[in-house]
Structure 1
Amino acid sequence: MADPGLGRTSVGSVWGADASVLRSSADHDGEPLPRAEVRETHTAIVFFAGDRAFKLKKPLDLGFLDYTTVAARRAACEREVALNRRFAPDVYLGLGEIRSPDAEEAEPLVVMRRMPANRRLSRLVREGASVDDVLRAVARHLAAWHAEAPRGRDVDEQGTRDALSSRWEASFAQVRTLADDGFVPEGVAEVERLVRCYLAGRERLFDSRIAQGRVVDGHGDLLAEDIFCLDDGPRVLDCLEFDDNLRYVDGLDDAAFLAMDLEQFGAPEAAAYFLAQYSEHSGDPAPPSLWHHYVAYRAFVRAKVSLIQARQGAPGAEAAARRLVSTALRHLRTSAVGLTLVGGLPGSGKSTLSGALADRLGVTLLSSDRLRKELAGIPAEQSAAADYGEGLYTPEWTSRTYATLLDHASALLSSGESVVLDATWSDTAQREAALHVAERTSADLVALHCHVPGEVSAARLNARVPGTSDADLEIATTMAAREQPWPEAVAVDTSGPLESAVAQALAAVRPWGTGQAPVFRRPYMEPD
């Protein structure tokens, strides 16, 4: 049916009486051909007839694409076939044409094998079918393409922090333009604020992604509606063809599109599973915040598309835009990079709370007690007990410990890793240094000050076995007399059950709640 290459197909072979699309049921392996259908997107109309699908581009100008001329539509169709053959070569058959009696030029269209509607990933998810095997196969397929995908300076340029920022800003402007009629989804202003804050301190992260070769010529539009789960493997269709720069993306950004879409179908567990599988097959060490940021970006892009569809009169499009902006906001809140100081006197339970909080949030924990001994070259569990202000606890050693602690934190924050810092934080100068790190890395700073009644602290210290901390009751008493006020810290009572203290801490660190979006966990990352 199609010539080699793009395989332009004549009008007769597509629509003539002898065409395969019009074969009788008896000639189709004994199975009746599916009924003809029509589907519409914001940029195209797709006709389904027999075992073929024919895709026409709409003659419109949306700003980010212009299909107002036949030549432009033809170029887009040719590009779509060439690019999609990278993912599904047996589906994209070539370029076809259709001509009406009064047309000066034939209208180009993309000719494809018709995929079985009952094998769409979106339909399987809606029906509650098990899709783990499919998602694993798609993740492997996508990771394999990313491993071999074209790279280069022009591709890398689209992976910079500034390039991503420009795409976000363009989407903000387009949404506000589309909303001239008065409908601006609630949450857009907060989305803008959170995006700008995240990107402001993360140049190091995006530079490292480029250095790792993570920016590729990808798919760019990975939706569950366009993935078909066939017996011999998935077919991934309909990649983005109208702007190469929008297809030059971080591989994680590419994968995040499908994760976002799965969430919209009410399958957040499937979304998390797919991202985990992609991470495994691609060997991607990305921090959790970047996963969430890219899911948010994809949700906001789809919100923009929904607003376009709303202007075209599509039913339910405004409601979809609201849901998608809400999804973007949830993930941006979860992706916010945070520096949490957990302080308090010896025996206050700060280390126990720090560990539980870091585990609950899935973030990195750094301890001044451990780091101090690491700097001294001794095991963390080896005692270095000394009188107050002596040995490893002189002002010089303490200053060095806190400076190194904040250096490590700064590197992690710049790389997109949130951090919990376990230390006494009894000195105002140390707290101010932490504030400067948070400001420099555009991280949200939350300070927690652990406290317990004196008798509880004394009982804990008297029962403490030798370990990472060397402080005893006498040292704790001396430190209490010298501790400087910390009015900006949130007081946390740690005298009761640990879960009670964790709940107090979480209320301060994540005031919007911890169930906003899935928590992606990664092992501890040593700063470069």
Structure 2
Amino acid sequence: MYGISSHGGPYVPIRAVKVPAVRDGRDFRGRCSLARCGFRRDPGRVTENRPFAAVRETHIGVVFLVGDRVYKLKKPVDMGFLDFSTPELRREACGREVALNRRLAPDVYLGVAQLSDVDDTPGESLVVMRRMPDDRRLSTLVRSSAPVRDAIGRLARVIAAFHTTAERGPHVDVEGTREALAGRWEASFAQVESVGGGVLDPDLLAEIEHRTRDFLAGRETLFQSRIDDGRVVDGHGDLIADDIFVLDDGPRVLDCLEFADRLRRLDGLDDIAFLAMDLERLGAPELGELLLDRYAEHTADPAPASLRAHYIAYRAFVRVKVACLRHAQGDASAADEARLYADIAVRHLRRGAVRLVLVGGLPGSGKTTIGGLLADRLGAVLLSSDRLRKELAGLDPGHHANAAYRDGIYTREHTTRTYAELLRRAGELLARGESVVLDASWSAEAERLLARDVAKRTSSGLVELRCAAPTAVTEARLRGRTGSLSDADPAIAQAMAAAADPWPDAVAVDTSDTPASALAEATRLVLG
């Protein structure tokens, strides 16, 4: 006799089944029939896709699906990260699973039942649940391209509300530190390196490790701010589309990570990023983006895009580790799965890289136009020396402060002060995970050295771009421009050109054509 998996795969063979007495939701000793336990055979609901009874076995338990109920039995195993070795520990684990999962699905987790043998001897504890309809599983709906955007919005609201009331405190916060996340990454790297030989491209794995460490190295301020803002919660820990059901009265989110508290204590964004990653894995990255956007709206979460991308990458690499372990145990098909998840991880690590981009050049070179367009394209913060210089002088940015070269608010002293403040603000933003575009002339090597130091200190990628155009073009721009914050004219531009230090580390961007073409080239140079 064989059961049929609710996930579409085969169950283990069932040779003989002894059905002990069970009563839903409370300890009960004695015998009872299926009818007394609330089961009624309904021929209309017993279909090829929903057998009346089935069994599913995992490495830590056995799940019995009978009619409209699910019974989950813990195996007597001790795997280090969980210990079900005694009846008392298994009973405690069942109670813990019910209590934690009732936070999101109180009407699904009915309680803990107690088995008894035919001689009334107390037996095993089981988690008792309502059986969910397989055809309403989120993963099934996504794979079939069913319209689920509204459901995704409702799900984001449910998870946001759950996180709002979730347990917090120092014992929870400790798992949200940069060091804790780095430790989990490093543990995964070690496991993949030990069992993933021949599965992943070594260069790809090296890139994932390098990009991860760079992001974490410079972002202590970001992670501390998340803790200070109360963003670290006792959450779900294992949000995947297979365990979410879209019902008419709202989603049901099942199977939180109940056996290891520390793995469930995490940044709320990390928690929901797991599901966003899983939706991308199912071929619907746009649904993952929608989920995270709606979650951010409901929680007023100011997280930078880099942190969102990092958590998606982290969750993908957790699945890389699991797939590599399965492959090492003989599952050949897990190799392709590991590569799929690795591609998701590296793609988001690249997308989430924190960058400092210097966009420089002489007056009229188009640096301010390109700097603004590039910041929009990258989702970066734009800081402009022209605006900041006047702010520091107590002037309205639109006020013209025309002066001779290195006179007025353009003295060496005021210029030094302007660049120092420009880089101080950039450093703070980079430490919080925000990429920054700095629009300034960058004509002095001393100022560029300070910028390089900021990038190094915050483990941020540095790109130096020098906008350039023929003199006739730049002079025409200076004479004809309106609404610019700059006070430079052709004479000042000539004086700046004569005094500028060589800039061999910069890559030239030709701005003599359209802004669109210059932006395309600048974007290519930044993103590679």
Q: Which of 288, 294, 301 matches 2:318? A: 301
> Closer, same or farther in 2 for the Cα pair 1:367/1:2, shift >3 Å?
farther
2:5 matched residue in structure 1 = none
Report the 3-state secondary structure (helix = DSSP H, G, I; strand = E; otherwise coil) of the residue aligned with 2:383: strand
Give CA-to-partner distance per residue, 1:59-111, whole Å, 9 cap, x none.
Answer: 5555533445555444333221111011101111222456899xx98444322
1:11 & 1:503 partners in 2: Cα distance?
75
Q: Is the 8 A contact 1:9 1:94 kept in 2?
A: no
Q: Does 1:125 align with 2:130?
A: no
User: What letter matches 1:118 in structure 2?
Assistant: D
How many residue pairs get matched? Answer: 502
Report the 3-state secondary structure (helix = DSSP H, G, I; strand = E; otherwise coil) of the residue aligned with 1:450: strand
Q: Which of 453, 456, 459 matches 1:442? A: 459
Q: Which of 191, 196, 199 matches 1:183? A: 199
Report the 3-state secondary structure (helix = DSSP H, G, I; strand = E; otherwise coil) of the residue aligned with 1:54: strand
1:394 & 1:279 partners in 2: Cα distance?
44
> Closer, same or farther in 2 for the Cα pair 1:245/1:114, shift >3 Å?
same
1:279 matched residue in structure 2 = 296
Q: Is the 8 A contact 1:93 1:112 kept in 2?
A: yes
1:174 & 1:61 partners in 2: Cα distance?
20
Q: Is the 8 A contact 1:21 1:49 kept in 2?
A: no
1:93 matched residue in structure 2 = 110
Structure 1: any 5+ residue segments left out of the alignment? 512-528
1:10 & 1:291 partners in 2: Cα distance?
50
TM-score by length of 2: 0.90
Per-residue deviation, 1:342: 0.4
> Closer, same or farther in 2 for the Cα pair 1:10/1:474, shift >3 Å?
farther
1:158 matched residue in structure 2 = 175
1:241 & 1:457 partners in 2: Cα distance?
65
The 5 Å alignment of 1:21-420 reads: 23-25=40-42, 31-32=45-46, 34-35=50-51, 36-39=53-56, 43-58=60-75, 62-67=79-84, 70-96=87-113, 106-179=123-196, 182-184=198-200, 186=202, 187-314=204-331, 316-420=333-437
Report the 3-state secondary structure (helix = DSSP H, G, I; strand = E; otherwise coil) of the residue aligned with 1:426: coil
Per-residue deviation, 1:312: 4.5
Q: Is the 8 A contact 1:139 1:274 kept in 2?
A: yes
1:221 & 1:498 partners in 2: Cα distance?
46
1:437 & 1:94 partners in 2: Cα distance?
56
Q: Which of 505, 511, 517 matches 1:488? A: 505
User: What letter matches 2:464 in structure 1?
Assistant: A
1:274 & 1:343 partners in 2: Cα distance?
38
Give CA-to-partner distance per residue, 1:468-524, whole Å, 9 cap, x none.
Answer: 01100000011111111111111111111222211221222111xxxxxxxxxxxxx
Per-residue deviation, 1:191: 1.3
Report the 3-state secondary structure (helix = DSSP H, G, I; strand = E; otherwise coil) of the residue aligned with 1:158: helix
Q: Which runs of 4+ in 1 moved over 6 A?
A: none
Taking every aligned residue pair, what percent have the same amino acid on both sides? 56
Q: Is the 8 A contact 2:64 2:72 kept in 1?
A: yes
TM-score by length of 1: 0.90
Per-residue deviation, 1:56: 3.4
Q: Is the 8 A contact 1:380 1:468 kept in 2?
A: yes
1:519 matched residue in structure 2 = none
Give CA-to-partner distance per residue, 1:162-205, whole Å, 9 cap, x none.
Answer: 111111112212222333x6534552221111111111111111
1:460 & 1:70 partners in 2: Cα distance?
82
Per-residue deviation, 1:333: 1.0
Report the 3-state secondary structure (helix = DSSP H, G, I; strand = E; otherwise coil) of the residue aligned with 1:340: strand
1:169 & 1:502 partners in 2: Cα distance?
38
Structure 2: any 5+ residue segments left out of the alignment? 1-21
The Cα RMSD (Å) is 2.3
Give CA-to-partner distance per residue, 1:249-296, whole Å, 9 cap, x none.
Answer: 111111101100000000011000000000011111111111111111
Per-residue deviation, 1:130: 1.3
1:526 matched residue in structure 2 = none
2:451 & 2:28 partners in 1: Cα distance?
66
Report the 3-state secondary structure (helix = DSSP H, G, I; strand = E; otherwise coil) of the residue aligned with 2:349: helix
Report the 3-state secondary structure (helix = DSSP H, G, I; strand = E; otherwise coil) of the residue aligned with 1:213: coil
2:289 & 2:491 partners in 1: Cα distance?
49
Q: Is the 8 A contact 1:37 1:49 kept in 2?
A: yes
Per-residue deviation, 1:22: 5.2
